[in-house]
Every structure is written in structure tokens, then in C-alpha cells.
Chain A
Amino acid sequence: MAWQYSEKTKQIFMDAVHGKPGTHLGEIENPDGFGEHGSISCGDALRFTFRVEKHPSDPLQDRIVEAKYLTFGCTSAIAASEALCVLIERGRFTPVTALKVRNKDIVDFLGGLPEQKIHCSVMGAEALEAAVFNWAQKRGVDLAKLGVDIHANDQQEGRIVCQCFSLSEPYIRRKIKELNLRTIPEITNAIKAGGACASCHYAPGGLQDLLNEAWGGGQGAAVLEGASRSPLAGEGGASGAPRPPEVEVAGFIVGLSPYQFSKKVEKVVDDYIRPMLRKDGGDIEILDIKENLVYCRLAGACKGCAHSGSTLRMMVEGTLKDRVHESVRVIEA
């Protein structure tokens, strides 16, 4: 899908990837603030670092003078990272006042972002928070005492609601309020939760429940979406497919259970067929036995031999018919 980016977003991206002077690519060595958000497996990740001019006596008067980033992500993730650094440097903020820079400021700076890309700007704001938290630890500043509510570490705590992107309940709750998210698509666009397998949308304690708790209403009226997890997870998955019950096939060959039948086939193959083939440097591999059907292929010197088709039919099938049961059919796999 072609994303509709603003000219400014495109320009910032191209300047950044070409390392134009004045862009903020990189990582500050021994930074005063260090924050990360996202992970490579989620599709985007940002490492944000800043350096402050330290105030001799009052850490609260430290000023951020340099900010840099390294980003794994799409066009808008990279542009949003660049925007974050520009906004932070331009404001000559103290770390605490820098928290005033929110994801909306990043979106505005970029001249807007497509809805599905809002999460790129949220990632910037989250990394900034984490970096300020890190700065506070290093400088011995008690943010809580200042009334600054930092949640940089609540991602690691609490029940995981969105498994695909490892997002926890406290984090999603906070973001719903903070970003005024009213619908599941809004949540997905902003923080990616529910954007992949969608199984958390209407699950108990899932996104719809969190929305209902936050804003009230919607008493369990959610319509359950169909099985849309990974194709292998649903019922009837490859290996989980229930085989027809044994009774259905038992008695197919009088006196032999399916198990006894396959054992007998294997024994005849080992005792009679394989020794014959080996004389000519060949071999046989049994892939499966399904009732009277024996799936096999010739190996060794027999493989690719022009006579392999008739060897299977005449020699292998003939021997099995003689020694196991008349109904045996050999299928070349």
C-alpha cells in the first residue's frame, strides 16, 4: 500500500538517510540520557540519547544541548526520530520540561502522518520519556517527588494483552487515556496493539474491555471475530487434525488392525523387497501407510531409473499382494 507522506516527512527522511549535515543520526557516547522503545521483532525500534549542559549545583537546571537517534523502521519512523531530536534541541529544554514534547508535536512538525503511522510518533515520545527517566536516575533526581509521572518501565510489568507486540495491560490502559483512544482501530494506529493477529480485540480482558472500562458502555456486546490467528493455530491445524477413528478403518483387511497391517507391510518390505532391491544397489523408502495404500519411493540406484515405475508396480506391489493382502495398492510418492 502506498503511504501518503507529507513533503516534509519525505524530505526529512531523505536528508536523514543521506546523512545531511545538521541531521541527528547516531548515538552519543556516555550520554546523560538514554532511552529505547520498540523492538526489532515488532518492526520498529528507536534508541534515543541526549547530552546536557550540567548545572553546577541544581540538576533540574541541566539543559539538553544535543540529541541523537538510531532507528530501525520505516520511512515515517525515521522521520519521526529526526523530528524528535530537532524539537528537543530547538527548545533548549531541561529534561523535565522536555517531557512537554508529545507525540502530537512530532506529528505537527512532520506536517501530519497517515493514521496507520501515528505509532511512529508515539514511539518517539516513549523513547524520550525513557531517556529522561534514565537521566533522573543518573543525576539523582526524584521525578515522583516533582509530581512527574514517568511510566518508562511499566511496559515490563502487568499482564500482556497484545501478544504479538508484547504490550501490557497497564501500558495500554495508560495510552488509551493519554492519547484519548476511543476505538480499536485508534489503539492499533497509535500503539500497534491488536494490529497483527487481532485475537486480543474482543477476548476477555482484551482491547474492547479496556476501552469499555476507560470510557464506559458496551456491555459485552462485542461480536466475536472468527478464528483469525495464525493459520496453523486454528482447529484442524496440520498435525492436530483428528484422524478418522480407528473403528472406521478396522476390519478393512479381515483379521488385521491398521497397526498390525502396517507392521506386516514393513516386515515384508524388510524381509523380501529391500534385499531384492539392494542386490541392484537400490533401496525403498516407505512414506506412509494408509489402510491398504502404501506410499513409497525407490531410492539408491533405483532413483531415476527408467524401470522404477514398473519395479514398484510389479515387484513391490506384487510381493505385498502375495504376502500381506490382495487389496494392497502401492502409490509412488
Chain B
Amino acid sequence: MRIIYADNNATTAVAPEVREAMAPFFGEVYFNPSSMYEPARRAAAAVDGSRRSIARHLGADPSEILFTSCATESNNTAILGVAKANPGRRHIVTTAVEHPAVLQVCRELQRGGHRVTFLPVDGDGNLDLRAFIRALDKDTALVTVMHANNETGVVFPVDRLARLTKETDPAIVFHTDATQTVGKLAIDLGKDFRHVDLLSFSGHKLHAPKGIGALFIRKGTPCRPLLIGGHQESGRRAGTENVPYIAGLAAALDLAMEHRAADEARIGAMRDRLEKGLLARIPSVQVNGGDAPRLPNTLNASFHFIEGEGMLYQLSEHGICASSGSACTSGSLEPSHVLQALKVPFTAVHGSIRFSLSRYNTDSDIDRILEVFPGIVANLRRLSPYWDSKNDRPRPEAESLVQPSTEAK
């Protein structure tokens, strides 16, 4: 059966060009880049070249790029590193919809005595600028706000938020988790993103393998290392450089930047067709974050009165891979904190499905999803105690269950 992969915000397929770029470093060029002998210089050159190339794509200086093992490590380094470097300030500003790799780190600092402001979002997933400004105070050490949300694709105006932060108080450090946007949206750390001090991303969201990430640290930013015990990365991240993966990350970003303009339009058109097609074919659907600025590849929709896992299971029977914010797929019993923050009714959170596309998706993938998905929804609605299958509409007593809730919970 042909696999239709529409879960690219979770991870992506490794591009053949990336595999090729990595291959020499699994073979003859196995040397430690720190070694002195001649053959090791090829390994060191690969690391340096990759760093230069990544820096150029992002408008940064090569010395400002730090290689890590993943975006989670980059986020941990950024947040804990800034907190450690700035003991005189004990307040952090973040949002309620961050990835756990930011949210949990902030909670950890909170347990240690930091004050943390978790900014709410509105029903579309947008931040309130007034609340953001209000949150900044004399004790604020760090602002950490993601660039685009992994679940809904909603994009925050990071350039503007960073500028507001710096104009309020240049001593506040601004970090953004750009895991979902590097290679997908325009980011220039020398221009519109010039007020951003720290930026995290990883390779496996842009067709490099899992196990490689990076952190941009603007020159002069106070940030202490997380991993210590070696001189690598100018002492900011100890551990022997992961040469093949670093080469893979650079190759993946090269490819992404080369194709970005064309990809963005084509992927956006596929997503829009999928969204319109599903809304036209299926009653009682809501698009989550649909009215906010959004990544072109992401569609998050709630299919009312049914549960996400049963949809995913049937999709997988057709070889279609997607994900859900439902509690049953989360590993805990708590459904998506992101959709809850958007005040999506609990019931609709359980029925949410996320499709996230990449440049490897085709129009025939969209055709296939549109062909099978209405049937999958109808199958489950026939079983649902809240659905009137005879008239293909919700039972009257159930309709109030999917009105937007007035509180987050």
C-alpha cells in the first residue's frame, strides 16, 4: 500500500540529497574534527562549512550558530542558560501554547522560584499585544515565544514582539523556538529578526535526520552552557561534534532555501484545497487557528462528536499518516494544551486532526485524503450518541457541546 505521509510537523522524510551529503562521514571521513592530523581536517572543514552555510541562510554570523542534538536541547540551553546568566532577574514571559520543551522548562524554573507569565491566546490562536506589553517588567530576564505553533500552524509576529521587547528594555533576552519555521518561512536575523537574541530549530522537521539541532546565539547574549566538559562550539556546548548530522542539517537547509518560494506556494495551495474540500464534504467541522496567520503546510480541524483516535486508525488502514490532539493519542489522558488554550470546546479537542504537508506531498495525496476521509467521519458518526445519522446532523441536545467555551477549562 502506498503511504501518504501528512504528519510533517511531527517529523519529515530524510531527503536523498541529505543522505548523500552525510555518507562520507559514516565512511572514510570518520575523524574527530578536533584532532591535529591532516585527515581530520576534512571533518573539521565539513563542520565549519556547514556552520557558514547555515549562518548565511539565516542572516547570522557563523560564530553565532551552535550545533545541538535537537530543538529540545536548544530550547533547554536557551532558557536555562539565560536564567543562569542573569541571577538578578527572576521573571520569564512565555505563552500558553509553547511546545513542552519550552513550557516544561519554564515550569521547572517556576518551581525553583522564578516568576513565569504564561500569556493566553484568543480563539484564533493570536496573542494579545496589550497583554504582552503589560507582562514585561523590570525583573524580566527572558521572553520566549515560538515562531509558529506545531499543532495549529499559527504564526506569532516574532519580529514585532522582539522589537517591542528590546525597545522596552534592551537587557531582556528574546528567544524564539523556530522549529516549525526554519526553511519554511523567511527569517533574516540581520534584518526583520535583528532583535531576536536566541533562535532554536532542529533538522528533522526539514528533511534532515533526527538527532541534530541548532541554536542561534547573538553575539554578546548572556547565556551559560548546558553541556559542559569540552572546548567544542567555543565552550558553549561540550561534546564531540556530530559531523555527519551537521553536514546533513546544512544540506537540508540548502535544499529548503533553494525550493522555499516554490514550495510555499505549492504546499499552501494543496493545504487550502484539502481544507476547502473537507469543509465542503463534511458537516460540523471547525478549522482551528484558521483565521490567524498560519504556516502554509498545516491544517488542524475538529470533526465534532467523534474522537480523533478512531479517525487516525481508519486513516492508517488507508496508508494515510496524520495526528490528533485527542487525549487518547497523547500518552496522557489530557487532550492538547494548545487547542484548550484556543478555547476549543473540550469535545472538539478530542475530535481534532492535524494534517501537515511537505514538498514531497502531491495533488494525488490530497485527492486520496478527500476521497476517504468523509467516509471515515461518517463511519464514526453512525456510532456516536451525539449524532443523528438519519438526517446527517448533530442531535439537537448535543449542539451546545461544541460552542466555544468561555473559559480555557
Contacts and interface: CB of A to CB of B under 8 A. Distances in A.
Q: Which 9 A-B pairs have the closest CB atoms?
A: A195-B333, A74-B309, A70-B385, A74-B328, A17-B379, A41-B346, A196-B334, A47-B385, A236-B115
Interface string B24-58: 00000000000000000000000000000000000
Interface in B279-335: 305-310, 313-314, 317, 326-335
Given A40-B401, A43-B328, A236-B115, A13 B384 contact: no
A71 B385 contact: yes
A53 B306 CA distance: 33
A234 B116 CA distance: 9
Interface of B: 91, 96, 103, 107, 110-111, 115-120, 129-131, 133-139, 160, 164, 167-168, 305-310, 313-314, 317, 326-335, 337, 340-341, 345-347, 350, 376, 379-380, 382-386, 398, 401, 408-409
A238 B120 CA distance: 7
A320 interface: no
A16 B384 CA distance: 12
A163 to B, nearest CB: 9
A44 interface: yes
Contact of A18 (B164, B310, B379): B379
Contacts of B118: 231-232, 234, 237-238
A109 interface: no
A197 B333 CA distance: 9
Interface stretch (A92-100, A138-146, A201-209, A240-248): A240-248
A230 B307 contact: no
Contact of B383 (A40, A78, A234): A78
B76 to A, nearest CB: 17
A237 to B, nearest CB: 6
Contacts of A44: 307, 328
Interface string A56-88: 000000000000011111110110000000000
Contact of B309 (A47, A70, A75): A75
B133 A13 contact: no
Given A73-B307, A74-B309, A241-B135, 6 more contacts: A17-B379, A41-B345, A41-B346, A43-B335, A44-B328, A70-B383
A177 to B, nearest CB: 22
A46 B386 CA distance: 10
A89 B11 CA distance: 46
A209 to B, nearest CB: 21
Interface centre among A41, A46, A192 (most CB of B within 10 A): A41
Interface of A: 1, 3, 10, 13-14, 16-19, 25, 27, 36, 40-41, 43-47, 69-75, 77-78, 116, 164-165, 188, 192, 195-197, 226-228, 230-232, 234-239, 241-244, 248, 287-288, 290, 293, 295, 329, 331, 333
A93 to B, nearest CB: 23
B323 to A, nearest CB: 10
A1 B386 CA distance: 27
A333 to B, nearest CB: 6
Nearest to A48: B385
A70 B328 CA distance: 18
A278 B327 CA distance: 52
Contacts of B347: 40-41
Contact of A13 (B103, B305, B310): B310
A228 B307 contact: no
Given A77-B307, A231-B96, A331-B168, A40 B386 contact: yes
A2 to B, nearest CB: 9
B313 to A, nearest CB: 5
A287 B107 contact: no
A73 B133 contact: no
Contact of A288 (B130, B307, B313, B331): B130
A191 B335 CA distance: 16
A236 B117 contact: yes
Contacts of A293: 167-168
Contacts of B326: 43, 74
Contacts of A195: 327, 332-334
B39 to A, nearest CB: 43
A238 B131 contact: yes
Contacts of B383: 16-17, 25, 69-72, 78
A237 B327 contact: no
A290 B136 contact: yes
Contacts of B133: 287-288, 290, 295, 333
Contacts of A196: 327, 332-334
A239 B134 CA distance: 9
